[in-house]
Amino acid sequence: MTATTPTTPLRAGVVGLGWAGQQHMDAYASLPGVELVAIAGMEDGPRAELGEKYGVTRRYSDWRDLVADGDLDVVSVAVPTFLHAPITVGALEAGIHVLSEKPIARTAAEAQTMVDAAHRSGRVLEVAFNHRRRGDIEALKAAIDAGQIGRPYHARAIWLRRAGIPALGSWFTNREMAGGGPLIDIGVHVLDYALHLFGEPQVTAVSAVTHSELGARGRGGAKSDKQHVGSAYEVEDLASLLLRLEGGGSIVLETSWAAYRPAGDEFGITLYGTEGGADLRVVDYAPAGELTIFTGEGEEVEDIAVTADAGRGHLAVVETFLEHVADEPNWSHWDGSLALDRARVIDAAYESARLGAEVRLTPATAGLDADSTTTTETQEA
């Protein structure tokens, strides 16, 4: 790994040439103290075009070559979910700090191998939860931290689409490659920002149902250029969860790729607190959503419409990742454990839906060894 000084920029690589990968490329190309020097991806045309756009001469069709050629300090992994673990582990073992796209992996067990690799290598592993870096989410978190709604005790958090299956027949709809449907794809963002807003309480139990009604009949697919792998529709197109939290709080989480509802995308959260409440709605990826804080006492209503900026999304995620990489004494603090916890909750949700029963999560210390994964218990519904 290249030694760095204040005058020597970090050398960055990106594996993955799609939208997410390009967000990382943009960030590395625009932030100080880092230089984008290598990209990897299977598609010849996009690889050449992006290499020209960013002035990158080191272009690889195989991520292994990117890692093996050495001298990278950091790498972003923005590829289909089934590749997150092997690429991340390979890069960490080569002494490279890793920023992976969400979800961390297909399962908690797979995610654990990544966290363990971060511990063995002593390098940083982070996962890109860019939605918590939206301006409206950050404004809502600031209001909560300032005590405007008191203690949050219940929420309904959503990301719903009418016809947004990423691509019928692509890796997204293959269970082995993707790990699941909208719950693990966009629902993981909802899970992340909801728990973030609550202050990271432990999820103690999950009760979930999943439905596959539209995708299996060829309905609800979005227009997309995503690679077709000939897969049948093997995942859910709607999931609904009840999360029980330590301290008695609760979250209802709903997510869909396809459902008969108003057209377009909608995500957000409604929070109920001891001194007030809040509602955030974002329609069709608006840069800033409609955020209202509900306060007052008795008949007195003091509702506040909050104007939030657009936030910095992936740029902020990459910037924070680079700050952590620069903070060598604290590398062990950023080991992917938070994303592993998200994976454990999603695992429990899929298990609950399969069994038709609530699944209880037993707290565990993340990432210490291969046996440290959260255990689950089932209870008849």
Look at residue 295 and tell me whether its pLDDT is greater than 50.
yes
Higher pLDDT, 300 or 169: 169
Q: What is the number of other CB atoms lying within 10 angstroms of the CB of residue 80?
A: 20
Delimiting residues of CATH 3.40.50.720 domain(s) in the chain: 10-129+314-335
Burial 201-227 (b: 16+ CB within 10 A, else e): bebbbbbbebbbebbbeeebbbeeebe
How does the average pLDDT of the chain come out, rounded?
93
pLDDT above 90 covers a percentage of the chain that reads: 88
Strand 74-77 and strand 34-40: the pairing is unpaired
pTM for the full predicted model: 0.92
Q: What is the pLDDT of residues 90-101, one digit of tens each?
A: 999 999 999 999
Bridge pairing between strands 375-380 and 58-60:
unpaired
Average pLDDT (304-309) is 95
Q: Where are the beta strands (DSSP E) in 176-237?
A: 203-211
CATH superfamily of 10-129+314-335: NAD(P)-binding Rossmann-like Domain (3.40.50.720)
- Check whether 263 has a pLDDT greater than 80: yes
With bands split at pLDDT 50, 70 and 90, how would you rate the model's confidence at 7? low
pLDDT in tens, 222-253: 766 667 788 899 999 999 999 999 999 999 99
User: 1-10, 34-43, 239-248: which range is least confident on average?
Assistant: 1-10
In the chain, where does the domain assigned CATH 3.30.360.10 lie? 135-310
The CATH number of domain 135-310 is 3.40.718.10: no
**pLDDT grade for 366, boundaries at 50, 70 and 90:** very low
